[in-house]
């Protein structure tokens, strides 16, 4: 560095004023800095704070198809899951059946025991889980085996002659049906 | 420098361990001959802007994916869905323009003040390298959103390279990662933009600042550049306050622009589009216009020789301009050339705009592109569809495969092997099983599983022959 005669304008004799200004600058800088981090924090927290995927309705099939059911019918519904900027399409099996009153119902094929897919066994007129032989009646009532509850019913609605269902996952191994996000 | 360091307490301890106090004093008590001036704020303004680019860039990278099939979706996601995403991206995009503007102001100030004179060659050289690196950042960053203008502007930008004799084409291929623009180009530009160029910028900022402090601040026009005579004033507090004020001005300007005119994103790059008219970012427009004037055999003069001469004149300035005269009116040749170059660049920019507006076909196409961008911006964010289901749908044209898929699900094979045979914790995946075994082997394994398979819970499959054939066809279709 070239030699310069350095005479600080606000020198040591004005220490009080100098440190007051330093404090002011530091406080001002910190405030502005903190303000600037707000958009960064909001940006980072977006996936945590944003609403989780809203439930969507999937088509099961035409209502006419299910008018004269004498046994549960297996249908594949396509569900879409949001994963950040992508959407994953999954096909999930459901059973269309009738309850005791003859109303059309849609059952999740996921066993309430450990989550295996339960098939309808026509020969025995029962749903029998291949994993641990939990079995259910045609309307999903628990008949025997290890599962803690009936098969899970899914919400349904009819729109323009099409049966729709809201596919959902439920907690396994618990007595009461409990939605999973 | 300061003998009055506090002698006890945490700060004293920290200072003894780190020497932080003397470092701080070294930074803050930098002597400025002739005192603080608004004209000196540009260097620290650039440092501040670079810091802002790093911070916003790191945050943008939290959602961005540098691959041709995801880049546009992720930028669209940032712009349309993520809280504050459009704002942050706009700050980053406007920040790049701001860097170019402040760089120009810094260069102009240094030039007219003759601050490069007197043992300041290294400061100047490092500054020239930083200017080039920043232009490189702007060029590589422009491609990353992978929208129409990014794709086509970069196609043109990299094509210019092939005009260079001998090494032009290999250089272009190296930069693109192949002969054509594609996902590898994007990866390369990403690495340059995020790792390589910033690393070089750090190194050259360090060189620039170190060499600057070694030579000392040049001070006003009246100051002797080698042995300062004017009374010096510390950097702190006046110059620091001015620098901080300038930084505040930059933040506010960026914030207002980002808020009022958020940076747009155009439709995804479509390489098959033959109509698209690429236009670079404003600071490259003069160069873009300049290159239009050179064709055929003379193009090497315009594209290589003239820029090389201009570059050498700029870089070599402190080496051939050795006089210590700083007053601009006493250096008519260099000041005249510099001013003429600036005016020429400005004129080229204006010429480009006027040409575009005068040609009705071009003007209409540019307007159409703007309308397409506006339309894309108002459309809702469309998430990218992914997952094995997509691939599966494409292969289910064979009726046997469709039937086999129904059997696979009907027999609850998917309970353990997963939907579309992707595997679960309970059983291995079946994708690719068709390459491992032929159909007769698959059938025999299904009818009579091996001991190992049985032990894992695999039951024997008792299907009729036609059903078995369908199931095997389905298994073989799993890729």
Assign B340 to helix, strand or coil.
helix
Using DSSP bridges, classify how beta strands A179-180 and A86-98 pair: parallel, antiparallel or unpaired: unpaired
pLDDT digits (tens, 9 = 90+) for B131-166: 999 999 999 999 999 999 999 999 999 998 888 888
Cβ neighbours of A117 in B, within 8 Å: 409, 412, 414-415
Classify B132 as helix, strand or coil.
Answer: helix
Indicate the residue of B84, B88, B419 with minimum beta-carbon distance to A90.
B419
Percentage of chain A surpassing pLDDT 90?
38
Could you tell me which residues come within 8 angstroms of residue B221 by beta carbon, excluding any fewer than 6 positions away? B113, B114, B326, B327, B328
Residue of B31, B213, B265, B382 to mutate when probing chain A, most A C-beta within 10 A: B31
Point out the residue among B83, B228, B231 whose CB comes nearest to the CB of A42: B83
Block residue for tokens 């098969």: A151
Using DSSP, state whether A94 is helix, strand or coil: strand
Q: How many Å apart are CA B476 and CA B440, to the nearest integer?
A: 11
Beta-carbon contacts of B425 under 8 Å, excluding residues fewer than 6 positions away, are: none
Minimum Cα–Cα distance from A29: chain B residue? B244
pLDDT digits (tens, 9 = 90+) for B198-238: 999 999 999 999 999 999 999 999 999 899 999 999 999 99
pTM of the model: 0.78
| ipTM exceeding the 0.85 mark | no
Overall CATH class of domain B28-374: mainly alpha
Contact in structure between A73 and A63 (CB atoms under 8 Å): no
The pLDDT tens digits of the residues spanning B59-112 come to 999 999 999 999 999 999 999 999 999 999 999 999 999 999 999 999 999 999
Mutation to test the B interface, candidates A1, A3, A4, A52, most B Cβ within 10 Å:
A4
Backbone angles phi, psi at B440, to 5 degrees: -70, -35
Q: Alpha helix locations (H) across B144-239? A: 148-161, 168-176, 183-191, 197-215
Tell me which CATH code domain B387-477 carries: 1.10.760.10
Pairing assessment for the beta strands A179-180 and B31-33 based on DSSP bridges: unpaired
Residue B387 confidence class, pLDDT cut points 50, 70, 90: low
**Per-residue pLDDT tens digits for B238-287:** 999 999 999 999 999 999 999 999 999 999 999 999 899 999 999 999 99
Ordered by start, the domain boundaries in chain B are 28-374, 387-477
Cross-chain CB nearest to A85 (options B232, B383, B414): B383
């Amino acid at each position: 560095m070239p030699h310069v005669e350095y005479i600080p304008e606000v020198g040591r004799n004005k220490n009080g004023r100098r440190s007051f200004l330093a404090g002011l600058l530091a406080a001002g800088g910190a405030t502005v800095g903190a303000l600037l981090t707000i958009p960064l924090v909001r940006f980072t927290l977006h996936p945590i704070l944003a609403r989780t995927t809203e439930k969507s309705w999937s088509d099961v099939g035409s209502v006419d198809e299910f008018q004269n059911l004498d046994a549960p019918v297996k249908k594949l519904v396509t569900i879409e899951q949001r994963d950040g900027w992508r959407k994953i399409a999954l096909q999930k099996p459901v059973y269309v059946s009738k309850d005791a009153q003859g109303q059309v119902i849609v059952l999740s094929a996921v066993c309430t025991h450990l989550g295996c897919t339960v098939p309808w066994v026509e020969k025995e007129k029962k749903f029998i889980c291949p994993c641990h032989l939990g079995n259910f009646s045609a309307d999903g009532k628990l008949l025997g085996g290890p599962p803690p509850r009936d098969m899970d019913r899914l919400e349904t609605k009819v729109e323009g002659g099409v049966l729709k269902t809201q596919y959902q996952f439920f907690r396994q191994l618990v007595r009461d049906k409990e939605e999973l996000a | 420098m300061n003998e009055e360091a506090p002698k006890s307490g945490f700060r004293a301890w920290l200072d003894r361990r780190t020497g932080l106090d003397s470092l701080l004093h070294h930074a803050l008590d930098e002597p400025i001959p002739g005192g603080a001036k608004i004209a000196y704020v540009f260097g620290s303004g650039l440092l501040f802007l670079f810091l802002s680019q790093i911070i916003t860039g790191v945050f943008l990278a939290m959602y961005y994916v540098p691959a041709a099939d995801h880049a546009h979706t992720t930028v669209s996601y940032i712009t349309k869905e993520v809280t504050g995403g459009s704002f942050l991206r706009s700050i980053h995009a406007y920040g790049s323009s701001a860097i170019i503007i402040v760089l120009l102001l810094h260069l102009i100030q240094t030039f007219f003040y003759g601050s490069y004179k007197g043992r300041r060659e290294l400061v100047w050289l490092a500054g020239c390298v930083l200017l080039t690196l920043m232009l490189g950042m702007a060029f590589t960053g422009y491609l990353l959103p992978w929208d129409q203008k990014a794709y086509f502007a970069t196609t043109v930008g990299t094509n210019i390279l092939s005009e260079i004799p001998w090494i032009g084409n290999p250089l272009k291929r190296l930069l693109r990662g192949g002969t054509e623009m594609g996902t590898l180009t994007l990866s390369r530009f990403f690495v340059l933009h995020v790792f390589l160029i910033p690393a070089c910028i750090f190194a050259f900022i360090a060189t620039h600042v170190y060499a600057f402090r070694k030579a000392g601040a040049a001070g006003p026009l009246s100051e002797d550049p080698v042995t300062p005579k004017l009374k010096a004033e510390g950097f702190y507090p006046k110059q620091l306050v001015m620098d901080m004020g300038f930084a505040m001005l930059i933040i506010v300007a960026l914030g207002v622009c980002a808020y009022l005119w958020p940076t747009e994103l155009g439709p995804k790059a479509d390489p098959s589009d033959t109509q698209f008219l690429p236009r670079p970012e404003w600071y490259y427009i003069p160069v873009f216009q300049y290159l239009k004037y050179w064709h055929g055999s003379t193009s090497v003069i315009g594209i290589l020789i003239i820029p090389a001469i201009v570059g050498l004149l700029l870089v070599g300035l402190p080496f051939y301009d050795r006089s210590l005269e700083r007053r601009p009116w006493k250096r008519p040749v260099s000041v005249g050339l510099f001013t003429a170059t600036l005016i020429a660049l400005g004129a080229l920019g204006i010429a480009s705009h006027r040409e575009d507006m005068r040609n009705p076909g071009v003007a209409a196409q540019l307007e159409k592109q703007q309308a397409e961008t506006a339309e894309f911006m108002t459309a809702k964010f469309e998430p990218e569809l992914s997952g094995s289901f997509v691939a599966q749908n494409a292969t289910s044209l064979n009726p046997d495969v469709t039937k086999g898929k129904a059997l696979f699900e009907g027999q609850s094979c998917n309970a353990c092997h997963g939907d579309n045979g992707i595997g679960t914790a309970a059983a291995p995946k079946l994708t690719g099983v068709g390459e491992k075994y032929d159909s007769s082997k698959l059938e025999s394994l299904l009818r009579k599983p091996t001991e190992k398979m049985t032990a894992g819970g695999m039951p024997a499959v008792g299907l009729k022959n036609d059903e078995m054939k369908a199931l095997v066809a389905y298994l073989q279709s799993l890729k």
